[in-house]
Structure 1
């Protein structure tokens, strides 16, 4: 049984993870901390009584949360979105000391979807245009979503290109023709949508659409718990949800 501590415990995901742990017969809830008490000490105390941490807080808190995991010698799963280059550098550094799993989406279904997108992009080639459409609830603050970026990275990996050099988003006005080989993004916001993502591969007179619809936030919570528990007793390193599912 893994004791899992939640950073960002009062957020939507933190509460969903607590609910999953509360009904789990395999793992237990080691406690949680949130923005008002993330001064470092409370996170460190949580780490000391946990076998693994899950972090769904905020980018500004990431470095301190990584230090807490390193100090306690336990793994950490990071589901916080809106990360920038400096955050990924900090994650890489932490992964030298403890197991770290960072992902834009903890859903097992999305993990498999990304694998399928990579395969499709690799096999169909650049003649097929790729568009990624996502919709989330009105309170979401970042766009495109972390999951959309994850799917974009999967498509770029399949094509053997750098996503940053081939992203096409925020179209407005007279934009001209679509750049060949671009990976497009569109972000929709409204209502209470937990998360819908579609990857459209459009060729000459045919289209393929690969989609995932999240009906409830609990799917992400269950995946986060499974991923965090999987990390326990792993060697230090950088992991992904693909590793949890055994996808090569």
Structure 2
């Protein structure tokens, strides 16, 4: 049976990609498209309810999975509305702070809820294998990262960079907030042993590049993930929607649960 989905922010760059991919997927039914107030015109897909009000849309599509790549405040508020109507939610929004993540975790007790700052299968496999690499290399290897995104991206560092860096820190037994260095400028002295630098580049139309460096005595290892298009993230999100439709509430699901 095909999974019914609702795309939030359907006219945005990511939303439009999700709409087109959902329409082309035989395992999905696009039953709803939602935009901000006054901007729902043109969302006239066959068999799809178009709306600028999620409260009005969701009662028409019971059980449909809402897929959202908007902004943190919208995502958190949307999840609460979806929970009220019993609609599962897939969120790919980045830039959520700890309070907002905690709000999602609380909402996940009432409705199946999935959140991942990066929906790429490749990135999430990296999150699985990086701890082993860190532990095998040992403490003599300094860990750094450079992330590059298009000039329209609003949050920095990217949600993916933060997730990867947190993974590296945890593998060393460190608290990331205590060892992170997101900017270097001026006479800052020697690099401490307990530090992870994450540097940000913005420009052009880069979908997302993340390079992790492991600097050791006499050698270095570089691991790079490059997203070639938004399709990478949309594919992961729609895969998550199909999976989430069969899950129960109770906790905040991630890509690790699918993999």
What is the TM-score normalised by the length of structure 2?
0.88
Q: 2:238 aligns with which of 225, 228, 231?
A: 225
Distance 2:101 2:118 in 1: 16
CA contact (8 A) 1:102 1:240 kept: yes
Aligned to 2:253: 239
Aligned to 1:176: 189
Distance 1:37 1:239 in 2: 32
Distance 2:131 2:18 in 1: 29
Distance 2:16 2:80 in 1: 23
Task: Return the offset for 1:127.
Answer: 2.1
Q: 1:44 aligns with which of 55, 77, 86?
A: 55
CA contact (8 A) 1:63 1:90 kept: yes
2:53 partner SS? helix
Distance 2:131 2:88 in 1: 28
Task: Return the offset for 1:160.
Answer: 2.1
Distance 2:52 2:149 in 1: 34
Aligned to 1:121: 134
For structure 2, list consecutive stretches of 5 or more residues without a partner in the other structure.
40-50
Q: 1:67 aligns with which of 66, 80, 85?
A: 80
Distance 2:107 2:223 in 1: 34
Aligned to 1:159: 172
1:97 matched to 2:110? The reply is yes
Give per-residue Cα distances to partners, 1:155-205, cap 9 Å, x unaligned: 122222211111011111111111212111011111111111111111111
CA contact (8 A) 2:115 2:254 kept: yes
Structure number with larger C-alpha Rg: 2
1:13 partner SS? helix
> Residues 149 and 181 from structure 1, CA distance in 2 versus in 1: closer, same or farther, beyond 3 angstroms?
same
2:37 partner SS? helix
Aligned to 2:47: none
For structure 1, list consecutive stretches of 5 or more residues without a partner in the other structure.
none
CA contact (8 A) 1:129 1:183 kept: yes
CA contact (8 A) 1:143 1:187 kept: yes
What is the RMSD of the two structures over their aligned residues, measured on CA atoms? 1.8
Decide which moves more: 132-141 or 28-37. Answer: 28-37
Aligned residue-pair number: 244
2:32 partner SS? strand
